[in-house]
A and B are shown apart, each in its own frame.
Chain A
Amino acid sequence: MTSATPALRLEGIVKTFPGVRALDGVSFSVLPGEVHALMGENGAGKSTLMKVLGGIYQPDEGKIIVSEQPVVMTSPLQAKSKGIVFIHQELSLAEELTVAENIYLGELPRKSFGRVDWPKLHEQTNRILETLKVGFDARTRVGDLSIANQQMVEIARALTVEAKAVIFDEPTASLTDAEKVVLFDVIDNLKAEGVGIIYISHRMEEIFRMTDRISVLRDGQYRGTLNTAETSEDEITQLMIGRKLDLSRNAVHHELGDVALEVRGLSCGKLFRDISFEVRKGEVVGFYGLVGAGRTEIAETLFGLREPSSGTILLNGEETVFHSPADAIAKGISLVPEDRKAQGLVLGMNCRDNMTLPQVDDLKAGPFVAEGAEIAIFDQYRDRLDIRTPGWKQLAGNLSGGNQQKIVIGKWLSMHPSVLIVDEPTRGIDVGSKSEIHNLIRDLASQGYAIIVISSEMPEVLHVSDRIVAMYSGEIIRTFTSEEVTEDNLIQAISGIRPEKAA
């Protein structure tokens, strides 16, 4: 393998922004027919590197070499013409247009007078779609496709040129297991054709399943390349964060209090059916399942965002109906939402105002907002949650993911909730801050909060939960105690395999 000419080689790439050296002499190479993982914490420089490769940023120093030829790229289209193709994490498709138009976006085949050559377009598209073995055709409207199929459209785009290197950025983020298999087949095919593949992912299982080598970035610097077959999760993690990470199983058990929240037979249309569970004070209940299993929808229902079609909710022993989020908050439910930036924070507002947002109506001095009381609340939770910010005037959008999440959590703690629901507590948060958030959740439980944690990451669920509810396609398959649960039976449960019923 080492004798082959690299499909793509980076030599000493440096990129500085005012005050930051985002990339500091990064060099590595991807061989033809190799799947090369690129790993690093958020902020390690992966996305900057990708933007350099995609022609969005120009490197200050260093060379990009495609098949022995140094190249300079000034636009994404130019990168594509050099054979460097991106499969973006966030789909960049035009939903109202057809599959064919999206695949040839910007490069529609033309006839005289600027007309689109539709027959040619559809024929070329269908030829590509055939190789991907997908169940839709060139004329389908992209908005009508599932997320997985939309991703296939993105991949199909990569196949319109003779790709030298294809970069997959978190490609499985929104895929089901079955869809992942299809994606991995596609990657295997590309690999067999001698294309070099850069695979960016945080998911270790995929890294070990798919990749040949792993290059790690930390703080904008290249930290080394490992052969996947010869390394371990620990070694990679250490390289990424510079120290060992504690992700052991939650073994701490403490006294549980009364039942804070009980749900009986809750259903909401097709989203989830017959959901029953309870959460005690001082307990963390983890909800684990695939994307689309209905976990977030349950949280939204408990938070008054959705109207259940049947079932009852008991809060502190009393039957309750949540008419709206305002109602749910007043009654003591808090939700730390899945998408922190879009749903949890007002990014352009300062930390203090974000923190006191739900209770600003109650913090009045006459007709005005009582600034002193606001600052007092902010100070209290900054100290309690160890939020690192220069001061309350800092805009929430300028904080790191971990500190942003703490602001959201602090916001709800200041409302003294009975039940705290945390949806994807560490999504988009770097590995180092992850364990801090995990510890925080455990601490809050030991202080007597009833907590529901929804997560798509198995180590996280195993680490923080006292009990784990496994969901599949809108139903609870099984509830595990932390003694019962193993990785195997958890995976089976979220794949819809029910435990053998003992007689």
Chain B
Amino acid sequence: MEPGTLSTFLKRGAIWGFIVVELLFFSIAGEFLSLSDKAFMDMDNMLLLFKQSAPIGIIAIGMTIIMINGNIDLSVGATFALSAVVLLDSMTWPVFAGLGDGVIPIAWGLALLTGIVLGALNGLIVWKTGVDAFIVTLGSMLGYRGLVFMYNGEQPTSHLNWTLVDFAEAHFLGLHTATWFLIAVTAVVWFVMNRTIHGRNAYAIGDNRTAAINAGIRVGPHMMINFMIIGFLASLSAVVFYSESGSVNPNDGELYELWVITAVVLGGTKLTGGAGSVLSTLGGVIAIQLLRKGLGHIGADTETVNLVIGLILIAVLFLDRQLNLKGKQELRI
């Protein structure tokens, strides 16, 4: 075996192993602690879990490529909210009156376009100014959220279209619509990152930017494309979620960026860029959702759930560090 293969394998497989441990733990602990007598690993419960994972999950897939690329995007929560406002509000615009359900694809298109434009704006600023993505998207996080509030003040934006609700609540082969979107996004992005030139260049840029520039890779456009992808995915997430709920509060999507980053990091993507996998991110998303549901199942409240997730995140990063340093005879701090 090549050196490093074992630790790579452990890291890749770790998140799935963690999920198995969670399942076993909550199943057994649930026998003793749960208030309901339903088993934790109930089919409906698991299907619901996938569906609930979708909004964060779809964005997390996008965040994975941003972080592999060596950037970060803190504005996804605000993009999510603004796209949701555009989606719901545009269906009530007088211009589209009389289209009936024909307004649905238009509203979707406008919402998705919003995400792409906001992402492109982030990417363009990062590319052209050279300011760190953390700072740029910290600014746009505040700015985009400001737009949400400007749109409707503190009031929620609501519009329920029953065709849309039916579509969102539909099942296909047992899985919810939202779950299918998550699966499709994962598959497509996996293909982009592993099979296309853009994807491989994104890895190279995140790994060693100087080398990429010296090799003539056009770093800026690649970064901008990735920001457009994550913008698109943030709005896709909003489209999937709000098609069903039909009402968006101006505060919706707050802290999403942090949950998304948590899932990506839990899945083993390097904060410094260059390494990571969308499949492992999917694992990270499921692991967090399992943890929330499982802790709820055994009677813990929300505060406890957050505390536990925080501790686990730190523990996982510590473990990752140990695996990376193994055999390298670490220097003391």
Q: Which residues does A use to contact B, with CB under 8 Å?
A: 75-78, 80, 92-97, 101-102, 105-108, 110, 113-116, 140-141, 143-144, 268-271, 297, 300, 304-307, 324
Residue numbers in A under 8 Å from B332 (CB-CB): 304-307, 324
Minimum CB distance partner of B203 in chain A? A97
Asked whether, in the complex, the Cβ of B212 is within 8 Å of the Cβ of A144, the reply is no
The 8 Å CB contact of B196, one of A93, A115, A269, A307, is A115
Residue numbers in B under 8 Å from A93 (CB-CB): 208, 211
Chain A to chain B contacts (Cβ below 8 Å), 25 pairs:
A76-B214, A76-B215, A92-B210, A92-B211, A93-B208, A94-B203, A94-B207, A94-B208, A94-B212, A96-B207, A96-B274, A96-B275, A101-B203, A106-B201, A106-B204, A106-B216, A107-B216, A114-B198, A115-B195, A115-B196, A141-B4, A144-B3, A300-B331, A306-B331, A307-B332
Mask for B182-220, Cβ within 8 A of A = 1, else 0?
000000000000011110110110011011111111000
Asked whether, in the complex, the Cβ of A114 is within 8 Å of the Cβ of B200, the reply is no
Residue numbers in A under 8 Å from B214 (CB-CB): 76-77, 92
Known: A75-B216, A300-B331. A144 touches B4 (CB 8 A): yes
B329 at the interface (CB under 8 A from A): yes
Kindly state the separation between the CA atoms of A113 and B191 in the bound complex, as whole angstroms: 11
Known: A110-B197, A113-B196. A306 touches B208 (CB 8 A): no
Interface of chain B residues 88 through 128 with chain A (CB within 8 A) = none
B2 at the interface (CB under 8 A from A): yes
Residue numbers in B under 8 Å from A102 (CB-CB): 211
Kindly state the separation between the CA atoms of A97 and B199 in the bound complex, as whole angstroms: 12
Residue numbers in A under 8 Å from B4 (CB-CB): 141, 143-144
Known: A101-B200, A271-B329, A306-B329. A95 touches B215 (CB 8 A): no
Minimum CB distance partner of B209 in chain A? A94
Kindly state the separation between the CA atoms of A144 and B212 in the bound complex, as whole angstroms: 19
Residue numbers in A under 8 Å from B2 (CB-CB): 140-141, 144
Known: A76-B214, A105-B211, A144-B4. A97 touches B200 (CB 8 A): yes
Kindly state the separation between the CA atoms of A469 and B137 in the bound complex, as whole angstroms: 55
Kindly state the separation between the CA atoms of A437 and B332 in the bound complex, as whole angstroms: 30
Q: A77-B214, A115-B196, A268-B329 known; 12 other A-B pairs, CB under 8 Å?
A: A77-B215, A97-B200, A101-B203, A102-B211, A105-B215, A106-B201, A106-B204, A106-B215, A114-B198, A116-B195, A141-B2, A144-B5
The 8 Å CB contact of B204, one of A101, A114, A144, A306, is A101
Interface of chain B residues 25 through 83 with chain A (CB within 8 A) = none
Kindly state the separation between the CA atoms of A439 and B279 in the bound complex, as whole angstroms: 60
The 8 Å CB contact of A116, one of B197, B207, B211, B329, is B197
Minimum CB distance partner of B196 in chain A? A114
Asked whether, in the complex, the Cβ of A96 is within 8 Å of the Cβ of B200, the reply is no
**Most A CB within 10 A of own CB, among B5, B198, B208, B213:** B208
Minimum CB distance partner of A108 in chain B? B197
Residue numbers in B under 8 Å from A76 (CB-CB): 213-216
Interface of A is mostly: loop
The 8 Å CB contact of B207, one of A97, A144, A304, is A97
Minimum CB distance partner of B211 in chain A? A92
CB distance from B235 to the nearest CB of A (A): 23
Asked whether, in the complex, the Cβ of A105 is within 8 Å of the Cβ of B204, the reply is yes
Kindly state the separation between the CA atoms of A110 and B199 in the bound complex, as whole angstroms: 12
CB distance from B65 to the nearest CB of A (A): 14
The 8 Å CB contact of A94, one of B3, B197, B211, B329, is B211
Residue numbers in B under 8 Å from A271 (CB-CB): 329
Kindly state the separation between the CA atoms of A92 and B217 in the bound complex, as whole angstroms: 13
CB distance from B275 to the nearest CB of A (A): 4
Minimum CB distance partner of B331 in chain A? A305
Kindly state the separation between the CA atoms of A113 and B192 in the bound complex, as whole angstroms: 10
CB distance from B39 to the nearest CB of A (A): 41
Residue numbers in A under 8 Å from B331 (CB-CB): 300, 305-306
CB distance from A112 to the nearest CB of B (A): 11
Residue numbers in A under 8 Å from B8 (CB-CB): 141
The 8 Å CB contact of B216, one of A77, A95, A113, A141, is A77
Residue numbers in A under 8 Å from B210 (CB-CB): 92
Kindly state the separation between the CA atoms of A102 and B200 in the bound complex, as whole angstroms: 10
Residue numbers in A under 8 Å from B329 (CB-CB): 268-271, 297, 306
Minimum CB distance partner of B275 in chain A? A96
Residue numbers in B under 8 Å from A75 (CB-CB): 216
Kindly state the separation between the CA atoms of A305 and B2 in the bound complex, as whole angstroms: 29
CB distance from A154 to the nearest CB of B (A): 10
Kindly state the separation between the CA atoms of A76 and B214 in the bound complex, as whole angstroms: 6
Mask for B4-18, Cβ within 8 A of A = 1, else 0?
110010000000000
Kindly state the separation between the CA atoms of A271 and B195 in the bound complex, as whole angstroms: 40
Residue numbers in B under 8 Å from A114 (CB-CB): 196-198
Kindly state the separation between the CA atoms of A252 and B200 in the bound complex, as whole angstroms: 60
Residue numbers in A under 8 Å from B275 (CB-CB): 96
Residue numbers in A under 8 Å from B195 (CB-CB): 115-116
Kindly state the separation between the CA atoms of A300 and B197 in the bound complex, as whole angstroms: 43
Asked whether, in the complex, the Cβ of B216 is within 8 Å of the Cβ of A116, the reply is no
The 8 Å CB contact of A108, one of B3, B200, B274, is B200
Asked whether, in the complex, the Cβ of A94 is within 8 Å of the Cβ of B216, the reply is no
Residue numbers in A under 8 Å from B200 (CB-CB): 97, 101, 108, 116
Residue numbers in B under 8 Å from A270 (CB-CB): 329
CB distance from B183 to the nearest CB of A (A): 21
Residue numbers in B under 8 Å from A97 (CB-CB): 200, 203-204, 207
Residue numbers in A under 8 Å from B5 (CB-CB): 144
Minimum CB distance partner of A297 in chain B? B329
Residue numbers in B under 8 Å from A305 (CB-CB): 331-332
CB distance from A136 to the nearest CB of B (A): 9
Kindly state the separation between the CA atoms of A307 and B330 in the bound complex, as whole angstroms: 10
Minimum CB distance partner of A90 in chain B? B210
Asked whether, in the complex, the Cβ of B196 is within 8 Å of the Cβ of A94, the reply is no
Kindly state the separation between the CA atoms of A93 and B204 in the bound complex, as whole angstroms: 9
Kindly state the separation between the CA atoms of A102 and B213 in the bound complex, as whole angstroms: 13
Asked whether, in the complex, the Cβ of B196 is within 8 Å of the Cβ of A92, the reply is no
CB distance from A342 to the nearest CB of B (A): 13
CB distance from B278 to the nearest CB of A (A): 15
**Most A CB within 10 A of own CB, among B207, B274, B275:** B207
Kindly state the separation between the CA atoms of A268 and B330 in the bound complex, as whole angstroms: 11
The 10 closest A-B pairs by CB, nearest first: A77-B216, A106-B215, A94-B207, A92-B211, A105-B215, A106-B216, A96-B275, A94-B208, A106-B217, A144-B4
CB distance from B184 to the nearest CB of A (A): 17
Kindly state the separation between the CA atoms of A110 and B196 in the bound complex, as whole angstroms: 8
Residue numbers in B under 8 Å from A297 (CB-CB): 329
Kindly state the separation between the CA atoms of A96 and B200 in the bound complex, as whole angstroms: 11
CB distance from B213 to the nearest CB of A (A): 8
Kindly state the separation between the CA atoms of A95 and B273 in the bound complex, as whole angstroms: 11
Minimum CB distance partner of A109 in chain B? B197
